[in-house]
Structure 1
Protein backbone atom coordinates (compact mmCIF):
# COMPACT_ATOMS: atom_id res chain seq x y z
CA UNK A 1 0.00 0.00 0.00
CA UNK A 2 2.76 2.44 0.90
CA UNK A 3 4.59 1.46 -2.28
CA UNK A 4 1.45 2.33 -4.29
CA UNK A 5 1.37 5.72 -2.61
CA UNK A 6 5.01 6.31 -3.53
CA UNK A 7 4.21 5.42 -7.16
CA UNK A 8 1.39 7.95 -7.20
CA UNK A 9 3.73 10.62 -5.89
CA UNK A 10 6.23 9.88 -8.68
CA UNK A 11 3.51 10.19 -11.31
CA UNK A 12 2.60 13.63 -9.96
CA UNK A 13 6.00 14.96 -11.08
CA UNK A 14 4.95 14.42 -14.71
CA UNK A 15 1.73 16.44 -14.31
CA UNK A 16 1.62 20.09 -15.38
CA UNK A 17 1.90 22.60 -12.53
CA UNK A 18 -1.77 23.78 -12.51
CA UNK A 19 -2.90 20.20 -11.90
CA UNK A 20 -0.10 19.21 -9.57
CA UNK A 21 -1.61 20.46 -6.30
CA UNK A 22 -4.99 18.87 -7.01
CA UNK A 23 -3.35 15.58 -8.03
CA UNK A 24 -1.19 15.53 -4.91
CA UNK A 25 -4.20 16.13 -2.70
CA UNK A 26 -6.19 13.39 -4.45
CA UNK A 27 -3.33 10.87 -4.17
CA UNK A 28 -2.79 11.68 -0.50
CA UNK A 29 -6.50 11.33 0.28
CA UNK A 30 -6.73 8.00 -1.54
CA UNK A 31 -3.72 6.61 0.36
CA UNK A 32 -5.13 7.87 3.66
CA UNK A 33 -8.51 6.28 3.04
CA UNK A 34 -6.90 2.99 1.97
CA UNK A 35 -4.71 2.86 5.07
CA UNK A 36 -7.50 3.78 7.49
CA UNK A 37 -9.78 1.15 5.96
CA UNK A 38 -7.15 -1.54 6.43
CA UNK A 39 -6.21 -0.47 9.94
CA UNK A 40 -9.80 -0.52 11.21
CA UNK A 41 -10.77 -3.99 10.07
CA UNK A 42 -10.49 -7.54 11.38
CA UNK A 43 -7.51 -8.91 13.32
CA UNK A 44 -4.80 -11.52 13.84
CA UNK A 45 -2.69 -13.30 16.43
CA UNK A 46 -0.13 -10.81 17.69
CA UNK A 47 1.63 -13.04 20.25
CA UNK A 48 3.11 -15.39 19.28
CA UNK A 49 3.03 -13.25 16.15
CA UNK A 50 1.38 -14.63 13.03
CA UNK A 51 3.70 -14.73 10.04
CA UNK A 52 2.39 -11.66 8.27
CA UNK A 53 1.81 -9.65 11.45
CA UNK A 54 5.40 -10.40 12.52
CA UNK A 55 6.74 -9.27 9.15
CA UNK A 56 4.71 -6.07 9.35
CA UNK A 57 5.75 -5.46 12.96
CA UNK A 58 9.48 -5.94 12.26
CA UNK A 59 9.74 -4.35 8.81
CA UNK A 60 6.70 -2.17 8.15
CA UNK A 61 8.73 1.01 8.60
CA UNK A 62 11.69 -0.33 6.58
CA UNK A 63 10.21 -2.83 4.14
CA UNK A 64 12.55 -1.90 1.26
CA UNK A 65 15.71 -2.50 3.29
CA UNK A 66 17.81 -5.08 1.37
CA UNK A 67 19.27 -6.30 4.69
CA UNK A 68 15.96 -8.11 5.23
CA UNK A 69 17.01 -10.69 2.62
CA UNK A 70 19.76 -11.94 4.94
CA UNK A 71 18.33 -11.09 8.35
CA UNK A 72 14.76 -12.27 7.80
CA UNK A 73 14.62 -14.19 4.49
CA UNK A 74 11.09 -15.56 4.87
CA UNK A 75 9.73 -12.08 5.45
CA UNK A 76 11.81 -10.86 2.51
CA UNK A 77 10.17 -13.34 0.13
CA UNK A 78 6.76 -12.41 1.54
CA UNK A 79 7.31 -8.67 0.97
CA UNK A 80 8.57 -9.37 -2.55
CA UNK A 81 5.61 -11.59 -3.36
CA UNK A 82 2.86 -9.23 -2.17
CA UNK A 83 3.38 -6.34 0.29
CA UNK A 84 -0.38 -6.18 0.87
CA UNK A 85 -0.16 -9.44 2.80
CA UNK A 86 1.64 -7.42 5.47
CA UNK A 87 -0.26 -4.14 5.17
CA UNK A 88 -3.44 -6.23 5.45
CA UNK A 89 -2.09 -8.43 8.25
CA UNK A 90 -5.60 -8.40 9.73
CA UNK A 91 -7.48 -9.69 6.68
CA UNK A 92 -6.54 -13.36 6.34
CA UNK A 93 -9.98 -14.97 6.44
CA UNK A 94 -12.52 -16.95 4.44
CA UNK A 95 -16.27 -16.40 4.42
CA UNK A 96 -18.94 -19.09 4.34
CA UNK A 97 -16.84 -22.07 5.46
CA UNK A 98 -19.59 -23.37 7.73
CA UNK A 99 -17.08 -24.90 10.14
CA UNK A 100 -15.75 -27.34 7.53
CA UNK A 101 -12.21 -26.00 7.70
CA UNK A 102 -10.36 -29.00 6.30
CA UNK A 103 -12.54 -29.03 3.19
CA UNK A 104 -12.03 -25.30 2.61
CA UNK A 105 -8.27 -25.19 3.23
CA UNK A 106 -6.16 -27.83 1.42
CA UNK A 107 -2.96 -29.36 2.77
CA UNK A 108 0.04 -27.18 2.03
CA UNK A 109 -2.12 -24.04 2.03
CA UNK A 110 -2.99 -23.76 5.72
CA UNK A 111 -1.06 -20.54 6.39
CA UNK A 112 -2.67 -18.72 3.46
CA UNK A 113 -6.17 -19.86 4.41
CA UNK A 114 -6.42 -21.89 1.22
CA UNK A 115 -4.96 -19.10 -0.93
CA UNK A 116 -7.74 -16.81 0.15
CA UNK A 117 -8.24 -13.19 -0.95
CA UNK A 118 -7.13 -13.88 -4.51
CA UNK A 119 -3.80 -15.36 -3.41
CA UNK A 120 -2.67 -12.30 -1.46
CA UNK A 121 -1.28 -14.48 1.36
CA UNK A 122 0.28 -17.28 -0.69
CA UNK A 123 3.79 -16.38 0.50
CA UNK A 124 2.83 -17.41 4.04
CA UNK A 125 2.76 -21.05 2.92
CA UNK A 126 6.44 -20.87 1.91
CA UNK A 127 8.57 -23.51 3.62
CA UNK A 128 11.64 -22.18 5.39
CA UNK A 129 13.16 -20.67 8.54
CA UNK A 130 10.47 -18.21 9.63
CA UNK A 131 11.37 -16.14 12.69
CA UNK A 132 10.15 -17.81 15.87
CA UNK A 133 8.75 -16.62 19.19
CA UNK A 134 10.04 -18.47 22.27
CA UNK A 135 7.28 -20.18 24.28
CA UNK A 136 7.06 -22.50 27.28
CA UNK A 137 4.88 -25.60 27.65
CA UNK A 138 2.09 -23.36 28.91
CA UNK A 139 1.60 -20.17 26.94
CA UNK A 140 -1.11 -17.73 25.92
CA UNK A 141 -2.26 -16.92 22.40
CA UNK A 142 -3.04 -13.20 22.22
CA UNK A 143 -5.32 -12.11 19.39
CA UNK A 144 -6.10 -8.49 18.51
CA UNK A 145 -9.53 -7.91 16.99
CA UNK A 146 -9.64 -4.33 15.73
CA UNK A 147 -13.29 -4.55 14.70
CA UNK A 148 -14.52 -6.33 17.87
CA UNK A 149 -16.11 -9.18 15.93
CA UNK A 150 -16.22 -11.55 18.90
CA UNK A 151 -15.69 -15.28 18.50
CA UNK A 152 -17.90 -18.34 18.27
CA UNK A 153 -14.77 -20.30 19.18
CA UNK A 154 -11.02 -20.58 18.83
CA UNK A 155 -9.13 -23.75 17.97
CA UNK A 156 -5.38 -23.84 18.61
CA UNK A 157 -3.15 -26.53 17.16
CA UNK A 158 0.58 -27.26 17.46
CA UNK A 159 2.53 -29.23 14.87
CA UNK A 160 3.44 -32.74 15.98
CA UNK A 161 6.87 -33.43 17.43
CA UNK A 162 9.23 -34.37 14.60
CA UNK A 163 7.57 -32.17 11.98
CA UNK A 164 10.07 -29.68 10.53
CA UNK A 165 8.41 -26.53 9.14
CA UNK A 166 11.73 -25.41 7.63
CA UNK A 167 11.69 -28.33 5.16
CA UNK A 168 8.09 -29.66 5.03
CA UNK A 169 4.81 -28.19 3.85
CA UNK A 170 2.23 -28.32 6.63
CA UNK A 171 -0.91 -30.44 6.34
CA UNK A 172 -3.83 -31.13 8.63
CA UNK A 173 -2.35 -34.45 9.75
CA UNK A 174 0.69 -32.58 11.05
CA UNK A 175 -1.45 -30.73 13.61
CA UNK A 176 -2.47 -31.67 17.14
CA UNK A 177 -5.36 -29.82 18.80
CA UNK A 178 -4.19 -28.31 22.11
CA UNK A 179 -6.98 -25.84 22.94
CA UNK A 180 -10.61 -25.31 21.97
CA UNK A 181 -12.78 -22.58 23.44
CA UNK A 182 -16.38 -21.49 23.57
CA UNK A 183 -17.76 -18.07 22.69
CA UNK A 184 -16.02 -14.78 23.39
CA UNK A 185 -17.98 -11.54 23.64
CA UNK A 186 -16.95 -8.77 21.23
CA UNK A 187 -13.71 -7.15 22.33
CA UNK A 188 -10.46 -5.97 20.82
CA UNK A 189 -8.22 -8.39 22.70
CA UNK A 190 -8.62 -12.09 23.41
CA UNK A 191 -6.40 -14.46 25.37
CA UNK A 192 -6.46 -18.23 24.85
CA UNK A 193 -4.54 -20.24 27.45
CA UNK A 194 -2.69 -23.22 26.00
CA UNK A 195 -1.29 -26.10 28.07
CA UNK A 196 1.07 -28.55 26.38
CA UNK A 197 3.79 -31.05 27.21
CA UNK A 198 6.35 -33.02 25.25
CA UNK A 199 7.14 -30.38 22.64
CA UNK A 200 10.64 -29.11 22.00
CA UNK A 201 12.31 -27.08 19.31
CA UNK A 202 10.62 -25.33 16.40
CA UNK A 203 6.87 -25.70 15.79
CA UNK A 204 3.96 -23.91 14.17
CA UNK A 205 1.01 -22.79 16.31
CA UNK A 206 -2.07 -22.80 14.09
CA UNK A 207 -5.04 -20.76 15.31
CA UNK A 208 -8.52 -20.87 13.82
CA UNK A 209 -10.68 -17.95 14.87
CA UNK A 210 -14.36 -18.33 14.01
CA UNK A 211 -15.72 -14.81 14.23
CA UNK A 212 -19.23 -14.18 15.57
CA UNK A 213 -20.46 -11.30 13.43
CA UNK A 214 -20.85 -13.58 10.38
CA UNK A 215 -19.57 -16.93 9.09
CA UNK A 216 -15.98 -15.72 8.83
CA UNK A 217 -13.00 -17.91 9.73
CA UNK A 218 -9.39 -16.76 10.19
CA UNK A 219 -6.41 -19.11 9.69
CA UNK A 220 -3.26 -17.93 11.44
CA UNK A 221 0.24 -19.46 11.51
CA UNK A 222 2.64 -18.47 14.29
CA UNK A 223 6.17 -19.89 14.39
CA UNK A 224 7.42 -20.75 17.86
CA UNK A 225 10.34 -22.40 19.59
CA UNK A 226 9.69 -24.50 22.70
CA UNK A 227 13.45 -24.44 23.43
Structure 2
Protein backbone atom coordinates (compact mmCIF):
# COMPACT_ATOMS: atom_id res chain seq x y z
CA UNK A 1 0.00 0.00 0.00
CA UNK A 2 2.77 2.47 0.92
CA UNK A 3 4.68 1.69 -2.27
CA UNK A 4 1.56 2.16 -4.37
CA UNK A 5 0.78 5.48 -2.67
CA UNK A 6 4.31 6.73 -3.22
CA UNK A 7 4.22 5.72 -6.87
CA UNK A 8 0.85 7.38 -7.41
CA UNK A 9 2.02 10.56 -5.72
CA UNK A 10 5.13 10.76 -7.84
CA UNK A 11 3.05 10.46 -10.99
CA UNK A 12 1.31 13.63 -9.84
CA UNK A 13 4.59 15.45 -9.33
CA UNK A 14 6.51 15.17 -12.63
CA UNK A 15 8.98 17.88 -11.62
CA UNK A 16 10.53 15.54 -9.06
CA UNK A 17 11.25 12.24 -10.80
CA UNK A 18 12.97 9.94 -8.26
CA UNK A 19 16.18 8.03 -8.85
CA UNK A 20 15.36 4.62 -10.32
CA UNK A 21 16.91 2.78 -7.38
CA UNK A 22 15.29 4.76 -4.56
CA UNK A 23 14.74 2.63 -1.48
CA UNK A 24 13.20 3.83 1.75
CA UNK A 25 13.70 5.23 5.22
CA UNK A 26 13.43 4.42 8.90
CA UNK A 27 9.82 3.64 9.78
CA UNK A 28 10.34 3.25 13.52
CA UNK A 29 11.40 5.43 15.18
CA UNK A 30 9.94 7.48 12.36
CA UNK A 31 12.52 9.50 10.45
CA UNK A 32 12.11 13.23 9.90
CA UNK A 33 11.55 13.01 6.18
CA UNK A 34 9.34 9.91 6.19
CA UNK A 35 7.23 11.32 9.01
CA UNK A 36 6.65 14.54 7.09
CA UNK A 37 5.66 12.56 4.03
CA UNK A 38 3.27 10.24 5.89
CA UNK A 39 1.57 13.04 7.79
CA UNK A 40 1.27 15.57 4.99
CA UNK A 41 1.93 13.90 1.64
CA UNK A 42 -1.77 13.83 0.77
CA UNK A 43 -2.43 17.24 2.34
CA UNK A 44 0.76 19.20 1.79
CA UNK A 45 -0.97 22.51 1.03
CA UNK A 46 -2.93 22.52 4.28
CA UNK A 47 -2.20 25.85 6.04
CA UNK A 48 -2.64 24.14 9.42
CA UNK A 49 0.70 22.42 8.94
CA UNK A 50 2.55 25.62 9.86
CA UNK A 51 1.13 25.56 13.39
CA UNK A 52 0.63 21.83 13.91
CA UNK A 53 3.95 20.60 12.51
CA UNK A 54 6.28 23.59 11.99
CA UNK A 55 9.44 21.62 11.17
CA UNK A 56 7.64 19.67 8.48
CA UNK A 57 6.08 22.89 7.21
CA UNK A 58 9.55 24.33 6.74
CA UNK A 59 10.69 21.20 4.95
CA UNK A 60 7.73 21.22 2.57
CA UNK A 61 8.54 24.80 1.52
CA UNK A 62 12.18 24.26 0.55
CA UNK A 63 11.85 22.53 -1.84
CA UNK A 64 8.54 20.70 -1.98
CA UNK A 65 9.96 18.12 -4.40
CA UNK A 66 12.29 16.72 -1.74
CA UNK A 67 9.35 15.47 0.29
CA UNK A 68 8.13 13.30 -2.56
CA UNK A 69 11.65 11.83 -2.64
CA UNK A 70 11.56 10.71 1.01
CA UNK A 71 12.97 7.33 -0.09
CA UNK A 72 16.05 8.68 -1.86
CA UNK A 73 18.09 10.41 0.83
CA UNK A 74 21.36 8.67 0.06
CA UNK A 75 24.91 9.35 -0.97
CA UNK A 76 27.32 7.50 -3.24
CA UNK A 77 31.10 7.36 -3.41
CA UNK A 78 31.98 7.66 0.28
CA UNK A 79 33.96 4.45 0.40
CA UNK A 80 32.67 4.08 3.95
CA UNK A 81 34.57 7.18 5.12
CA UNK A 82 31.42 9.04 6.09
CA UNK A 83 33.01 11.84 8.07
CA UNK A 84 35.18 12.83 5.11
CA UNK A 85 32.11 13.42 2.95
CA UNK A 86 29.48 14.50 5.45
CA UNK A 87 30.49 17.53 7.55
CA UNK A 88 29.19 18.42 10.98
CA UNK A 89 25.80 20.15 10.87
CA UNK A 90 24.93 18.29 7.64
CA UNK A 91 24.42 14.74 8.88
CA UNK A 92 20.67 14.60 8.38
CA UNK A 93 20.96 15.75 4.75
CA UNK A 94 23.84 13.33 4.01
CA UNK A 95 26.19 16.25 3.46
CA UNK A 96 23.69 18.28 1.42
CA UNK A 97 23.41 15.39 -1.01
CA UNK A 98 21.57 15.85 -4.31
CA UNK A 99 22.48 19.56 -4.58
CA UNK A 100 21.19 20.34 -1.11
CA UNK A 101 17.68 19.07 -1.75
CA UNK A 102 17.38 17.76 1.82
CA UNK A 103 18.91 20.72 3.67
CA UNK A 104 15.82 21.27 5.88
CA UNK A 105 16.47 17.92 7.53
CA UNK A 106 19.56 19.44 9.21
CA UNK A 107 17.63 22.22 10.95
CA UNK A 108 17.33 21.70 14.71
CA UNK A 109 13.96 22.38 16.24
CA UNK A 110 10.74 20.94 17.57
CA UNK A 111 10.61 17.87 15.33
CA UNK A 112 7.91 15.42 16.31
CA UNK A 113 9.34 12.56 18.33
CA UNK A 114 8.71 8.85 18.84
CA UNK A 115 8.56 7.67 22.45
CA UNK A 116 11.17 4.96 23.16
CA UNK A 117 12.64 3.11 26.13
CA UNK A 118 16.36 2.65 26.68
CA UNK A 119 16.09 -0.55 24.62
CA UNK A 120 14.22 -0.40 21.33
CA UNK A 121 14.30 -1.74 17.77
CA UNK A 122 15.03 0.28 14.65
CA UNK A 123 12.73 -0.77 11.79
CA UNK A 124 13.98 0.19 8.35
CA UNK A 125 11.44 0.16 5.51
CA UNK A 126 12.94 -0.72 2.10
CA UNK A 127 10.49 -0.32 -0.78
CA UNK A 128 12.85 -1.81 -3.35
CA UNK A 129 13.69 -4.97 -1.35
CA UNK A 130 17.31 -5.02 -2.49
CA UNK A 131 18.74 -6.14 0.83
CA UNK A 132 20.97 -4.34 3.32
CA UNK A 133 24.71 -4.93 3.67
CA UNK A 134 24.61 -3.40 7.16
CA UNK A 135 22.85 -1.02 9.51
CA UNK A 136 24.75 1.33 11.82
CA UNK A 137 22.67 3.00 14.51
CA UNK A 138 23.88 5.96 16.54
CA UNK A 139 22.11 7.85 19.32
CA UNK A 140 22.99 11.31 20.57
CA UNK A 141 24.75 11.54 23.92
CA UNK A 142 23.00 12.85 27.02
CA UNK A 143 23.26 16.64 27.10
CA UNK A 144 22.71 17.09 23.36
CA UNK A 145 19.92 19.59 22.60
CA UNK A 146 18.07 18.50 19.47
CA UNK A 147 16.00 21.68 19.46
CA UNK A 148 18.91 24.10 19.16
CA UNK A 149 21.97 22.16 17.95
CA UNK A 150 22.46 20.81 14.42
CA UNK A 151 23.90 17.30 14.58
CA UNK A 152 27.68 16.73 14.71
CA UNK A 153 29.59 13.46 14.62
CA UNK A 154 30.89 14.14 18.13
CA UNK A 155 27.28 14.25 19.40
CA UNK A 156 26.77 10.58 18.52
CA UNK A 157 27.44 7.22 20.12
CA UNK A 158 27.37 4.02 18.02
CA UNK A 159 24.88 1.74 19.77
CA UNK A 160 24.11 -0.99 17.23
CA UNK A 161 25.62 -2.59 14.13
CA UNK A 162 24.17 -5.40 12.04
CA UNK A 163 25.52 -7.69 9.37
CA UNK A 164 23.97 -8.34 5.99
CA UNK A 165 20.22 -8.79 5.84
CA UNK A 166 18.45 -10.62 3.01
CA UNK A 167 16.17 -8.71 0.62
CA UNK A 168 12.91 -7.84 2.34
CA UNK A 169 10.62 -4.92 3.06
CA UNK A 170 11.99 -4.38 6.56
CA UNK A 171 15.40 -4.66 8.23
CA UNK A 172 15.91 -4.45 11.98
CA UNK A 173 18.53 -3.47 14.53
CA UNK A 174 18.12 -3.94 18.28
CA UNK A 175 19.37 -0.92 20.20
CA UNK A 176 20.40 -0.35 23.80
CA UNK A 177 20.96 3.29 24.74
CA UNK A 178 20.78 3.65 28.54
CA UNK A 179 21.31 6.82 30.55
CA UNK A 180 19.31 9.13 28.33
CA UNK A 181 16.22 11.24 28.86
CA UNK A 182 14.38 13.83 26.82
CA UNK A 183 14.61 14.63 23.11
CA UNK A 184 17.39 12.81 21.22
CA UNK A 185 18.26 11.93 17.64
CA UNK A 186 18.69 8.39 16.33
CA UNK A 187 21.02 8.43 13.32
CA UNK A 188 20.76 5.37 11.08
CA UNK A 189 23.17 4.57 8.26
CA UNK A 190 22.45 1.64 5.98
CA UNK A 191 23.92 0.38 2.75
CA UNK A 192 21.72 -1.07 0.03
CA UNK A 193 23.12 -4.38 -1.21
CA UNK A 194 22.64 -3.80 -4.92
CA UNK A 195 25.22 -1.02 -5.31
CA UNK A 196 27.01 1.98 -3.84
CA UNK A 197 24.02 3.66 -2.19
CA UNK A 198 24.32 4.51 1.49
CA UNK A 199 21.33 6.06 3.23
CA UNK A 200 21.52 8.48 6.16
CA UNK A 201 18.44 9.22 8.26
CA UNK A 202 17.61 11.20 11.38
CA UNK A 203 14.79 10.10 13.66
CA UNK A 204 13.73 12.15 16.66
CA UNK A 205 12.89 10.29 19.85
CA UNK A 206 11.92 11.01 23.42
CA UNK A 207 13.42 8.71 26.06
User: What is the TM-score of this pair, normalised by structure 1?
Assistant: 0.82
1:31 aligns with 2:11: yes
1:172 aligns with 2:153: yes
Work out whether residues 18 and 72 of structure 2, in 8 Å CA contact, stay in contact via their aligned partners in 1. Answer: no
For residue 60 of structure 2, the aligned residue among 71, 79, 90 is 79
Partner SS, residue 26 of structure 2: strand
* Matched residues, number: 198
Work out whether residues 139 and 177 of structure 2, in 8 Å CA contact, stay in contact via their aligned partners in 1. Answer: no
CA distance, structure 1, for counterparts of residue 41 and residue 99 of structure 2: 22
Work out whether residues 132 and 171 of structure 2, in 8 Å CA contact, stay in contact via their aligned partners in 1. Answer: no
**Which is greater in Rg?**
1
CA distance, structure 2, for counterparts of residue 94 and residue 41 of structure 1: 11
CA distance, structure 2, for counterparts of residue 165 and residue 179 of structure 1: 21
Structure 2, gaps ≥5 residues long: 1-7
Structure with greater proportional helix content: 1
Structure 1, gaps ≥5 residues long: 1-27
For residue 37 of structure 2, the aligned residue among 52, 56, 62 is 56
Paired position in structure 2 for 1:95 = 76
Per-residue deviation, 1:40: 7.7
Written as runs of structure 1 = structure 2, the 5 A alignment for 1:77-226 is: 77-226=58-207
Written as runs of structure 1 = structure 2, the 5 A alignment for 1:1-16 is: none
CA distance, structure 1, for counterparts of residue 20 and residue 183 of structure 2: 31
Partner SS, residue 86 of structure 1: helix
Partner SS, residue 112 of structure 2: coil
RMSD over aligned CA atoms reads 2.1
Work out whether residues 205 and 223 of structure 1, in 8 Å CA contact, stay in contact via their aligned partners in 2. Answer: yes
Work out whether residues 97 and 216 of structure 1, in 8 Å CA contact, stay in contact via their aligned partners in 2. Answer: no
Per-residue deviation, 1:41: 3.1
Moved over 4 A (4+): 32-40
Per-residue deviation, 1:32: 5.6
CA distance, structure 2, for counterparts of residue 40 and residue 106 of structure 1: 25
CA distance, structure 1, for counterparts of residue 18 and residue 153 of structure 2: 33
